[in-house]
């Protein structure tokens, strides 16, 4: 079987479990480190001709990561497309298990079993912290309703203030974000590369947690490390607001 992945999370999952299947990936597929497969451009604007030239038996896409028109164009050209759309940790674990089994994995990979254990062991014994979670700036875009990253944070004791918004990724002005008086601002390093000098200065006096975007938004082998990694980054922001 020949698989092209347009989703960094799934690239890592397939390459780590069934490496011989992967024949193409996007320029943004950075894991596993050292992955050596042909590149097909970005996840939003892949080179469809290059994908077809790889003669894939299946192309992996995601509702949020990729554009529907690209998936439709591939399907119209006779290329089978598998669409993923996990919105919770449990969704991700279930979809990964089903996908890998369909691709020929004889048993659940160890990293997926470890991820199940890691998330089942997450304790939440404190009142949730009220947060805003920007994923972009200029303009500001924050997590809204029904997102995978939102569920990850919920399970780690963080309730984001736009969880009930009508949109999944609303664009409130900065003044509104400040007016909501968050107890915490969570700033991932992707898709926007928030950094100590780019993001926290917009929220003076509010603890800001700079977190790993891969562990917050990817659903693959990183899921096993995510609870401990994110919990430590969140705790560091609360213990050292100035940092």
Same structural domain for residues 235 and 133?
yes
pLDDT band at 124 (very low <50, low <70, confident <90, very high): low
Q: What is the CATH number of the domain that holds 215?
A: 3.40.50.1980
60/58 Cα distance (integer angstroms): 7
Is residue 94 assigned to a domain?
A: no
Is residue 112 assigned to a domain?
A: no
Share of the chain above pLDDT 70, in %: 96
End-to-end CA distance of the chain: give it in Å, rounded.
Answer: 49
Overall domain count for the chain: 2
Compute the mean pLDDT over every residue in the chain, rounded to the nearest whole number.
Answer: 94
Whole-number Cα distances in Å, 180 to 132, 144, 146, 151, 221: 9, 14, 20, 20, 35
Is residue 207 assigned to a domain?
A: yes
Q: Are the CB atoms for 92 and 224 separated by under 8 Å? A: no
pLDDT (tens digit, 9 = 90+) per residue, 156-182? 999 999 999 999 999 999 999 999 999
Is residue 133 assigned to a domain?
A: yes
Domain residues for the domain of 219 are 119-239
pLDDT (tens digit, 9 = 90+) per residue, 2-46? 999 999 999 999 999 998 999 999 999 999 999 999 999 999 999
Above 90 in pLDDT, residue 90? yes
The pLDDT of residue 122: 85
Same structural domain for residues 146 and 223?
yes
Mean pLDDT, to the nearest integer, of 54-78? 96
Same structural domain for residues 69 and 9?
yes
Same structural domain for residues 7 and 80?
yes
Same structural domain for residues 50 and 155?
no
The pLDDT of residue 85: 95
Whole-number Cα distances in Å, 136 to 177, 191, 194: 13, 7, 8
* Structure token digits, residue 142: 């924050």
92/155 Cα distance (integer angstroms): 14
Same structural domain for residues 59 and 148?
no
pLDDT (tens digit, 9 = 90+) per residue, 99-113? 999 999 999 999 999
pLDDT band at 126 (very low <50, low <70, confident <90, very high): low
Determine which helix (DSSP H) or strand (DSSP E) holds 229, and give its type and residue range. helix 226-239
Where does a domain end: 25, 60, 85?
85
Above 90 in pLDDT, residue 243? no
pTM for the predicted model, two decimal places? 0.92
């Amino acid at each position: 079987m020949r698989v092209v992945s347009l989703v960094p999370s799934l690239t890592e999952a397939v390459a780590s479990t069934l490496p011989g299947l992967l024949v193409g990936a996007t320029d943004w597929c950075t894991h596993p480190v050292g992955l050596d497969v042909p590149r097909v451009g970005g996840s939003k604007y892949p080179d469809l001709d290059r994908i077809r030239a790889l003669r894939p038996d299946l192309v992996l896409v995601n509702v949020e990561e990729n554009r529907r028109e690209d998936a439709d164009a591939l399907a119209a050209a006779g290329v089978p497309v598998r669409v993923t759309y996990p919105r919770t940790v449990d969704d991700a674990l279930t979809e990964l298990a089903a996908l890998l089994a369909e691709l020929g994995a004889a048993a659940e990979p160890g990293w997926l079993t470890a991820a199940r254990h890691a998330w089942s062991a997450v304790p939440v014994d404190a009142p949730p912290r009220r947060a805003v979670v920007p994923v972009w700036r200029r303009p500001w875009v924050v997590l809204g309703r029904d997102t995978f990253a939102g569920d990850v944070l919920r399970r780690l004791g963080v309730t984001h203030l736009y969880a009930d918004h009508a949109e999944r990724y609303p664009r409130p002005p900065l003044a509104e974000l400040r007016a909501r008086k968050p107890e915490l601002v969570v700033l991932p390093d992707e898709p926007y590369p928030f950094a100590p000098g780019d993001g926290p200065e917009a929220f003076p006096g509010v603890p800001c947690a700079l977190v790993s975007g891969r562990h917050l938004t990817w659903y693959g082998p990183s899921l096993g490390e995510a609870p401990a990694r994110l919990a430590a980054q969140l705790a560091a922001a609360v213990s050292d607001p100035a940092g």
